[in-house]
Structure 1
Amino acid sequence: MPMQNDIIPLSNRAILTLSGPDRRKFLQTLITNDVEKISGAQAIYAALLTAQGKYLHDFFITEVGESLFLDCERARLPDLFRRLMMYRLRADIDIKDCTDKYNILASMGRISGGVTSCVDPRHAHMGFRTIMAAPENISTCQTMVPYDRLRLSLGLPDGSRDIEVDRTLILEANMAELNGVDFDKGCYVGQEVTARMKYRANLKKRLLPVRIDGPLPDPGTDIINDAGRKIGRIRSGLDNMAMGYFRLAHMEFDQPYTCGEATVTPIRPDWYPPPEQKR
């Protein structure tokens, strides 16, 4: 297992808190997952979309006391904060950037002493995500490399490194298979497009893990088939693993394709739906 017994600091993550009596009702009308699933022991994975169903932000949400904690991308926190404030209107909530008050850690086992420590809701093999009060930091590793290796091996996207903002539909980013969408919760921003894609089964593109043979291509490098046709683009990667964004009609699992000076081979992840359920 790539992370083994390490405690990994997720230095590219940040914390927003939402407090106030309307915090759950406010998020319920905005995000792709059901906030009623959240508890002190259970986190959810969810996204904020455009009205056209395109990806804007994804995050993890846990509850601590009377506050919801959003574990989000550090570099894009200002944009997420701005959008939430735009939607707040008269809702009785307080939204705060609390990044300097907490560290976010990844580990295979639950960490005691944290503000909250929950199973990563995307995949059982991703272990736990823990929010720890700063400046306390019990990391045993100073790099995110083991975490990246694990999530790439499982075919999990890492926010906007893999999911293109205002371009990618979240079902293309596999958020349904990774427990990030609740199709029974009711309306939210972008819900109509997302539901239509699911029930019409017309998904044409997907993010998928790939094995790299050769130098790791830069993100955005085209993936080309034997006929010289562009069938996708590479996204984030590390060593001999990466994520690729593919046109499904023109790719096959375990079939090598050209990407820059390397060969990339798409791998079927364990969460990928069988043919009769494929969207």
Structure 2
Amino acid sequence: MFVHLKNRALLKVSGLDAQNFLQGQLSNDITKLNNSSVQLSAYCQHQGKILALFWVMRLEDSFLLSFPSDLLEAIKPRLQMFVIMSDVSIEDATKDYIQVGSIGQTHQKSLVINDKLSLIITDKKDINKFNMEPIEHWDMACVDSSLPEIFSITSEKLVPQMLNLDIDEFGVNFSKGCYPGQEVVARLHYLGSAKRRLFAFVLDSDVNVGDSLYCASSKSAKARGARYKSSGIVIFRIKYNSKFYCLATLEVELKDEAVTLNNEHGPTLTRIQK
């Protein structure tokens, strides 16, 4: 099954120093990226919060960064700011290619994301070569795979561990050199366990990215004299058939507790067991 991913931007990073530049900016080890895979990598600010989550690919001597389009205006100039004197060019290549998601199918141009999903970057003229299905199928496959995403509304709100990027070093490499936020991310890894993790949920009511999760038994749910505090946040949502599905962060100790959306009177979220 093929899906046209129209909602994703694409930056092309090229030049003699492109690899070293990205190695110093992103959480994963760019030197380990091959020509047949997509590498997930977080672009963090100095406090360790994720600005954007990139799908990184090699394209001949250059690199491509794929991420949601609503972050393009913020991310491109921020990356450009750190180029300084390096031989690095950062171009908006969104309109030069099409991005096609592949679910459970092989293609000669496929770049593997995981055992179910892959990405195809190809020329715009090739669009008619694919029998495209609705994007809902791709979004549901992302929920099934617990593939995280960062949009503008969740930018700078989460550290990589909250999206499970540290598990098996899927999106964070703890042996590589420094990058913005590396000290914070590494400290969380070596000095303690993550208190919040990413989980998949299903519910009968609509849900939006940025909505909060509430649990009455949470120690952080209340503050004396203050309004309710969030026990987690929705980072991805999809309506599929008659149900609503989402990926959301949640305090690990609450994963088997009753959780509702936004407040104690909100709709109930049921965790999808995996």
3-state DSSP of counterpart to 1:47: strand
Instruction: Supply the AA of the counterpart residue of 2:255.
Output: E
Residue 10 of structure 1 contacts residue 104 of structure 1 at CA under 8 Å; is this kept in 2? yes
3-state DSSP of counterpart to 1:135: helix
1:44 equivalent among 31, 39, 52: 39
User: Partner residue of 1:130?
Assistant: 120
Alignment RMSD (CA, Å): 2.1
Task: Choose 178-187 or 152-161, whichever is displaced more.
Answer: 152-161
User: Does residue 215 of the first structure (1) align with residue 205 of the second (2)?
Assistant: yes
Structure 1: which 5+ runs fail to align?
1-5, 270-279
User: Does residue 266 of the first structure (1) align with residue 266 of the second (2)?
Assistant: no
User: Partner residue of 2:259?
Assistant: 257
- How do 1:200-239 and structure 2 match up within 5 A? 200-212=191-203, 214-225=204-215, 229=221, 231-238=231-238, 239=243
Closer, same or farther: CA 224–84 of 1 in aligned 2, 3 Å: closer
Taking the aligned partners of 1:176 and 1:199, their CA distance within structure 2 comes to 11
2:59 equivalent among 54, 60, 64: 64
User: Partner residue of 1:111?
Assistant: 107
- How do 1:100-249 and structure 2 match up within 5 A? 100-107=95-102, 108-112=104-108, 114=109, 117-120=110-113, 123-125=114-116, 127-137=117-127, 138-160=129-151, 164-177=154-167, 179-212=170-203, 214-225=204-215, 229=221, 231-238=231-238, 239-249=243-253
Residue 53 of structure 2 contacts residue 149 of structure 2 at CA under 8 Å; is this kept in 1? no
Taking the aligned partners of 1:235 and 1:38, their CA distance within structure 2 comes to 26
User: Partner residue of 1:275?
Assistant: none
How far residue 92 of structure 1 moved from its aligned partner, in angstroms, is 0.6
User: Partner residue of 1:3?
Assistant: none
How far residue 93 of structure 1 moved from its aligned partner, in angstroms, is 1.4
Instruction: Supply the AA of the counterpart residue of 1:232.
Output: G
Taking the aligned partners of 1:41 and 1:188, their CA distance within structure 2 comes to 25
Closer, same or farther: CA 224–51 of 1 in aligned 2, 3 Å: closer
Closer, same or farther: CA 235–166 of 1 in aligned 2, 3 Å: closer
3-state DSSP of counterpart to 1:196: helix
Task: Choose 55-64 or 150-159, whichever is displaced more.
Answer: 150-159
User: Does residue 79 of the first structure (1) align with residue 74 of the second (2)?
Assistant: yes
How far residue 257 of structure 1 moved from its aligned partner, in angstroms, is 2.5
Residue 101 of structure 2 contacts residue 119 of structure 2 at CA under 8 Å; is this kept in 1? yes
Residue 38 of structure 2 contacts residue 119 of structure 2 at CA under 8 Å; is this kept in 1? no
How far residue 231 of structure 1 moved from its aligned partner, in angstroms, is 2.9
How far residue 224 of structure 1 moved from its aligned partner, in angstroms, is 3.0
- Identity across matched positions, percent: 25
User: Partner residue of 2:21?
Assistant: 26
Q: 4+ residue stretches of structure 1 with deviation over 6 A?
A: none
User: Partner residue of 2:226?
Assistant: none
3-state DSSP of counterpart to 2:200: strand
Structure 2: which 5+ runs fail to align?
222-229
Residue 217 of structure 1 contacts residue 262 of structure 1 at CA under 8 Å; is this kept in 2? no
Taking the aligned partners of 1:66 and 1:227, their CA distance within structure 2 comes to 53
Closer, same or farther: CA 236–65 of 1 in aligned 2, 3 Å: closer
Instruction: Supply the AA of the counterpart residue of 1:267.
Output: I
Instruction: Supply the AA of the counterpart residue of 2:185.
Output: T
TM-score in terms of structure 1 length: 0.83
